[in-house]
């Protein structure tokens, strides 16, 4: 009884070792390996899932059309559970064990900032679809993005608040544990001040908090016309409910961290009459967007959020760059990404500038009755 069990476990171990060896490099003859890391679980799980859906849709389209350089693209996905230290670990694994030629991810700036130095020091190009903190592409010449950056996003919301909503007194609630939220707060404060507005109160919270009543009570005492909450959807949804319970009925304003189907599920009617800056609107009538929304809905059963759209663009842009590079060498891919000009994506026309950021416009979206409505497009 003992012997067969022992030998079978040895066989099992041997089998594992063989599988893990063959994981590296891929089938060089007809596959190009691309790494993806994201929060498939955790408090920002929809970020990772939307991103994965967008990338899957793009890669399958490219492969169906014959692939790139005569080879099929294969994406290896790693879950970082929404934790920066885990993001660093999985990216190291993608590069050293799976030997991917390029990396897509993350959404959250904190996680991308943790992982980007790993890609940079290994000379593997990384495109973040949706991390908006300016510091990210400053990590090095291998790090790119296809979204706009926080200063622009902060400017868009400040301009919207001052010129479209015509509010004067705004209070701010910042997630102090989140680079993205802190960055947006800073820019919004500056830009809103330049446009003649006043910040009447500032309060803070930390990602993972569930009780915001103390902060909201303090804000309420200052009678703001609107509250800027550049956080992520889980906390924003809970916070909106508590704000309404306390009798704070002013519009909430936010950034692309709100962009999740879960936002209205958590916040319910409390989210109504709130606005956020987003990367695209599914109500856009251009043929490209209509086709993308249709295919996405058919495959995943929901309207794609901005993060899915950006992920789709990032994957398409990467495939395009590999084709232009004419080789699957990381350095050649890097050069091709850097030279991208006028790439037409579902989130707008993308040109990669000298700082490796994308030059493009932003959309302001209104939450109403559980749906998102297009309000306006704001340019630099």
Partner 1 sequence: METFLQQVINGISQGSAYALLALGYTMVYGVLRLINFAHGDVYMVGAFAGYYIANNDAVQANLGASWMTAVVVMAGSMAVCAFLGILIERFAYRPGRGNSPYTLAFWLAIVGSSVGRMVGGSTPALLAGAAAGAVLGVGLDRLGIRPARQSSHLTLLIIAIGVSLFLENGGQLAFGADPKFFPEIIPTRRIQLGGLTVDSQRLTVLGVSVVLMVLLTLIINYTKTGKAMRAVSFNLDAAKLMGINTDRIIAFTFALGSALAGAGGILVSLLYPRIDPLMGIMPGLKAFVAAVLGGIGSVPGAMVGGLIIGLAEVMAVGYGQSTYRDATAFVILVLILLLRPSGIMGKRTSEKV
Least Cβ distance, residue 46 to partner 1 (angstroms): 10
Asked whether position 41 contacts partner 1 by CB under 8 A, the answer is yes
Least Cβ distance, residue 183 to partner 1 (angstroms): 18
Candidates 265, 302, 329, 373; binder of partner 1 (CB under 8 A) is: 265
Least Cβ distance, residue 262 to partner 1 (angstroms): 8
Least Cβ distance, residue 287 to partner 1 (angstroms): 36
- In terms of CB distance, is 46 or 277 closer to partner 1? 46
Candidates 17, 214, 323, 368; binder of partner 1 (CB under 8 A) is: 214
**Omega of the bond leading into 106 within 30 degrees of 0 (cis):** yes
Candidates 20, 163, 217, 351; binder of partner 1 (CB under 8 A) is: 217
- In terms of CB distance, is 213 or 327 closer to partner 1? 213
Asked whether position 203 contacts partner 1 by CB under 8 A, the answer is yes
DSSP designation for 71: B
- In terms of CB distance, is 131 or 215 closer to partner 1? 215
Least Cβ distance, residue 71 to partner 1 (angstroms): 35
Least Cβ distance, residue 81 to partner 1 (angstroms): 7
Least Cβ distance, residue 275 to partner 1 (angstroms): 23
Question: CA 293, CA 283: separation in Å to the nearest integer?
Answer: 9
Residue 166 has φ and ψ, to the nearest 5°, of: 55, 50
For the chain, state the CA radius of gyration: 22
Candidates 18, 221, 288, 323; binder of partner 1 (CB under 8 A) is: 221
Candidates 122, 186, 204, 377; binder of partner 1 (CB under 8 A) is: 204
Asked whether position 213 contacts partner 1 by CB under 8 A, the answer is yes
- In terms of CB distance, is 43 or 122 closer to partner 1? 43
CB neighbour class for 13 (10 Å; exposed up to 12, middle 13-18, buried from 19)? exposed
Asked whether position 234 contacts partner 1 by CB under 8 A, the answer is yes
Residue 363 has φ and ψ, to the nearest 5°, of: -115, 140
Q: Which residues contact 61 (CB under 8 A, 6 or more apart)?
A: 316
* Token pair 């003859």 in the structure block, residue: 29
Asked whether position 238 contacts partner 1 by CB under 8 A, the answer is yes
DSSP designation for 68: B
Question: CA 181, CA 179: separation in Å to the nearest integer?
Answer: 6
Candidates 22, 30, 121, 210; binder of partner 1 (CB under 8 A) is: 210
Candidates 83, 97, 168, 241; binder of partner 1 (CB under 8 A) is: 241
Question: CA 59, CA 75: separation in Å to the nearest integer?
Answer: 8
* Beta-sheet pairing, 274-278 with 343-345: unpaired
- In terms of CB distance, is 85 or 265 closer to partner 1? 265
The count of chain residues that interact with partner 1, using the rule CB under 8 A, is: 30
Kindly give the residue spans of alpha helices, DSSP state H, lying in the chain: 2-23, 45-64, 84-96, 109-122, 150-159, 179-194, 213-220, 233-245, 262-267, 287-300, 306-325, 330-338
Residues between 64 and 93 that touch partner 1 (CB under 8 A): 81
Reported as type and span, the H/E element at residue 170 is strand 169-175
Q: Which residues contact 165 (CB under 8 A, 6 or more apart)?
A: 225, 226, 251, 275
Candidates 32, 33, 34, 45; binder of partner 1 (CB under 8 A) is: 45
Question: CA 313, CA 328: separation in Å to the nearest integer?
Answer: 19
Asked whether position 185 contacts partner 1 by CB under 8 A, the answer is no
Q: Which residue in 105, 96, 148 sits closest to 126, CA to CA?
A: 105
* Helices and strands of the chain, counted as H and E runs: 12, 15
DSSP designation for 209: -
Per CB under 8 A, the segment of 99-107, 244-252, 273-281, 295-303 that binds partner 1 is 244-252
Interface contacts to partner 1, rule CB under 8 A: 41-43, 45, 81, 176, 203-206, 209-211, 213-215, 217-218, 220-221, 234, 238, 241, 244-247, 265-266, 268
């Amino acid at each position: 009884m003992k012997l067969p069990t022992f030998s079978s476990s040895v066989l099992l171990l041997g089998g594992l070792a063989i599988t893990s060896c063959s994981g590296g490099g891929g089938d060089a003859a007809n596959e190009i390996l691309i790494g993806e890391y994201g929060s498939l679980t955790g408090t920002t799980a929809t970020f990772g899932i939307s991103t994965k859906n967008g990338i899957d849709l793009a890669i399958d389209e490219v492969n169906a059309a014959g692939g790139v350089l005569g080879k099929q693209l294969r994406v290896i996905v790693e879950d970082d559970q929404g934790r920066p230290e885990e993001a660093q670990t999985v990216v190291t694994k993608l590069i050293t064990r799976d030997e991917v030629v390029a990396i897509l991810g993350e959404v959250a700036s904190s996680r991308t900032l943790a992982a980007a130095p790993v890609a940079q020091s290994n000379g593997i190009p990384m495109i973040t679809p949706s991390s908006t903190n300016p510091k990210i592409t400053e990590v090095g010449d291998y790090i790119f993005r296809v979204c706009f950056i926080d200063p622009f996003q902060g400017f868009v919301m400040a301009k919207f608040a001052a010129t479209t909503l015509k509010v004067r007194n705004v209070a701010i609630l910042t997630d102090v544990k989140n680079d993205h939220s802190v960055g947006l707060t800073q820019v919004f404060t500056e830009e809103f001040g330049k446009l003649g507005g006043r910040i009447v109160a500032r309060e803070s919270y930390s990602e993972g908090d569930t009780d915001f009543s103390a902060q909201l009570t303090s804000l309420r005492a200052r009678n703001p016309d609107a509250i800027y909450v550049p956080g992520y959807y889980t906390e924003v949804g809970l916070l909106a409910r508590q704000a309404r319970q306390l009798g704070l009925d002013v519009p909430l304003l936010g950034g692309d961290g709100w962009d999740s189907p879960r936002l209205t599920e958590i916040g319910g009617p409390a989210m109504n009459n709130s606005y956020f800056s987003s990367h695209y609107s599914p109500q856009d009538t251009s043929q490209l967007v209509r086709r993308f929304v249709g295919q996405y809905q058919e495959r995943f059963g929901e309207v794609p959020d901005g993060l899915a759209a950006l992920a789709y663009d990032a994957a398409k842009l990467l495939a395009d760059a590999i084709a232009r590079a004419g080789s699957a060498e990381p350095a050649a891919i890097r050069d091709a990404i850097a030279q991208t000009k006028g790439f037409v994506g579902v989130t707008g026309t993308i040109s990669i500038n000298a700082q490796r950021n994308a030059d493009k416009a932003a959309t302001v979206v209104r939450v109403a009755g559980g749906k998102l409505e297009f309000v306006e497009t704001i340019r630099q």
